[in-house]
Amino acid sequence: MTLLSIDTALVIEKLILIAVIIFASLGIALYTTFAERKVAAILQDRPGPNRAGPFGLLQPFADGLKLIAKEEIIPSGANKWLFILGPGLAMTAALMTCAVIPWGDKVELFGRTIALQVADINIGFLYIFGVVSLGVYGVMIGGWASNNKFSLLAALRGASQAISYELAMGLSMIALLMMTGTLQLGEIVKQQTGPGHHWNVIYQPLGFLIFLVCAFAECNRTPFDLPEAENELNFGYHQEYSSMKLGFYLFSEYINMFISSAVMATLFFGGYDLPFFNPANHTPNFAATIGIITLMAKVVMFIFFFMWVRWTVPRFRYDQLMNLGWKSMIPLALVNMLVTAVVILMRH
């Protein structure tokens, strides 16, 4: 069954996989908003949302319905097309990274062996880095097209923050790359599984720390949420937005958080690897299911960490943010890279 010399079954398989991953990401992001409010409530000793449905579980749907039902306003001085394009770009860039993450090992369905990864490309690492660097556009275009000084200032802040922390992130990834010797994410996870192999965080603790801090900055999460500093910039780059366009911006932040948690789990915490569990002793489908559950558990831990930090650590000042990025993170990442290189050279 070939059309245009493409395996049609493969195309259908990949399309289904993409649809499942995207809808799962959206669903998880939906409930992350709820979890954020609940975690904030627990940390501040109050009940949190508990009216819609049992334990307030229907709250995200109520929020979404409210956003969709609100009036859509495009300011008269705004650049109409770019104003609409901004949230779309933010959302697209947030969802694009999930293409290279291995969500689990292979499963067997209908006589086909299906890898739970959309594309195990040769340049997996760099692909993530490329998409991260494109994430700036949603913020910049949205902030500029609103024709509002506060929005523009916030957009510039967001863009320069993202560019500054991308460098340290890239350097910490280089140290990891020198150890793994491959850019393929599927291969990196396989290197961390099995007896005698350890998770990369054991070899690269400093690299992981730098990556974590940069992930906070790239996701615009507190203590780095300068683009949305409401006491200085009213509401930040999405001040003029209303209705579901605002929803897209807010939502893309949660998707970014989910995806970067998945990336950290994959790169440094063994991906879908469960310690002391040998997949070879079980049927492939059972092992893959355990793998997916393990990865999701790691992701949930990271998301909780993101929230925990948000509700305990106050926001940086902008000059402190830049100093931390350029004068601490980048030199630290360089030192980490050098030490890794020396150790690898000694062991050869």
Partner 1 sequence: MSATHILFWFLSALAVVSALMVLFSKNPVHSVLWLIAVFFAISGHYILMNAQFLAIVNIIVYAGAIMVLFLFVIMLMNLNKESEPRKNVWMKLAGAISAGSLLMILVSLVGQATEVSHKTLIMKDGNIGLIKSLGKILFTQYVVPFELTSILFLSAMVGAVVIGKKD
> At its nearest, how many Å lie between partner 1 and the CB of residue 75?
16
Q: Using the minimum distance from each CB to partner 1, give the nearer residue, 121 or 201.
A: 121
Q: How many whole angstroms separate alpha carbon 184 and alpha carbon 182?
A: 6
Between 35 and 219, name the residue whose CB sits nearer to partner 1. 219
CB of 341 to partner 1, least distance (A): 14
Binds partner 1 (CB under 8 A): choice among 31, 129, 304, 311: 129
76 binds partner 1 (CB under 8 A): no
Site for partner 1 contains 79 (CB under 8 A)? yes
Rank residues 153 and 209 by Cβ distance to partner 1 and give the closer one.
153
Phi, psi dihedrals of residue 86, rounded to the nearest 5°? -50, -60
The verdict on 153 binding partner 1 (CB under 8 A) reads: no
Is 1 one of the binding residues for partner 1 (CB under 8 A)?
no
Residue 173 binding partner 1, by CB under 8 A: no
Among 126, 174, 206, 322, which residue sits at the site for partner 1 (rule: CB under 8 A)?
Answer: 126
Tokens standing for residue 84 = 């609409």
Residue whose CB is less far from partner 1, 121 or 206: 121
**Angle between helical axes of 80-96 and 136-145 (0-180°, round to 10):** 160
Burial 247-265 (b: 16+ CB within 10 A, else e): bbbbbbbbbbbbbbbbbbb
* Sign, Cα dihedral of 308, 313, 316, 322: negative
130 binds partner 1 (CB under 8 A): yes
State which of residues 90, 118, 183, 299 lies at the interface with partner 1 (CB under 8 A): 183
Q: How far is CA 315 from CA 6, 193, 206, 231, in A?
A: 51, 38, 23, 11
* Dihedral, 107, 108, 113, 114 alpha carbons, nearest 10: -40
Tokens of 220: 């615009």
Residues of this chain that bind partner 1 (CB under 8 A): 4-6, 79, 82, 121-123, 126-127, 129-130, 133-134, 136-137, 140-141, 144, 152, 155-156, 159, 163, 183
